[in-house]
Amino acid sequence: MKRSLVILVTVLAACGGGATPSATSPTGSHGPSPTGTSPKAYVAAVCGAVLGWVDSVNALSGSLPAQLSSAHSAKKTKRIFTDYLHRVVQDTDAMVAQAKAAGAPAVANGQDVHRKLTETLDTIRTSFAEAEAKGKKLSTNDPVALAKGIEQVERDLSSELLGVEDILAFSDSADLALAAGSEPSCQKPG
């Protein structure tokens, strides 16, 4: 699980620090100004939610190997694994809710940017919920089969989360990419 979570954490930590904007800024446009959450407040809310979630997942995944290795039965191993996935789903629900609560940013195409972001976060949540459901279905009759099942759940989860960094880099909006580049909550740790 550690390998897939490292991939996930790396992907999600790309919340905006150093993003290269691909859209042009609406600053010089004629017409009404976009309404919604300011770019700075939006990226702070989204990055804060995502990086807070990353920290939580890191803490949970950091203790998982020791917990799994201390299990003395297949049933206990399965319970530890499914409890872990359940906690990650709960934390993911909270992260998604926080990001959605930010509302659409006040930038050109802000509604679309927010919709894409929330769809991606919903996909992450669904991936973890499906992993939890698969984990609950694993048989405890054969410890080797259980270990292989856990590995398969990890692989499935990892492959479903590829490409997320494109959305979380705020590359659809120069204003958001700029705000993320200077927002402390969007900077990669370390």
> What is the tens place of the pLDDT at every residue in 52-109?
888 888 888 888 889 999 999 999 999 999 999 999 999 999 999 999 999 999 999 9
Output the pLDDT for position 16.
38
Query: What is the percent of the chain with per-residue pLDDT over 90, rounded to a whole number?
Result: 44
Output the pLDDT for position 3.
42
pTM of the model as a whole: 0.78
Of 63, 13, 52, the closest CA to residue 165 belongs to 13
Lookup: tokens for 90:
């709960």
Mean pLDDT of the chain: 80
Lookup: tokens for 172:
């659809």
Up-side HSE of residue 97: CA atoms within 13 Å toward CB? 6
| Cβ pair 68, 139 in contact under 8 A | no
Cβ neighbours of 39 (radius 10 Å): 23
Cα separation, 99 vs 121, whole angstroms:
8
Q: Specify which residues 77 forms β-bridges with.
A: none
Q: What band does 189 get if pLDDT is binned at 50, 70 and 90?
A: low
| Cβ pair 23, 174 in contact under 8 A | yes
Domain 2-186 fold is A middle domain of Talin 1 (1.20.1420)
pLDDT in tens, 140-156: 999 999 999 998 888 88
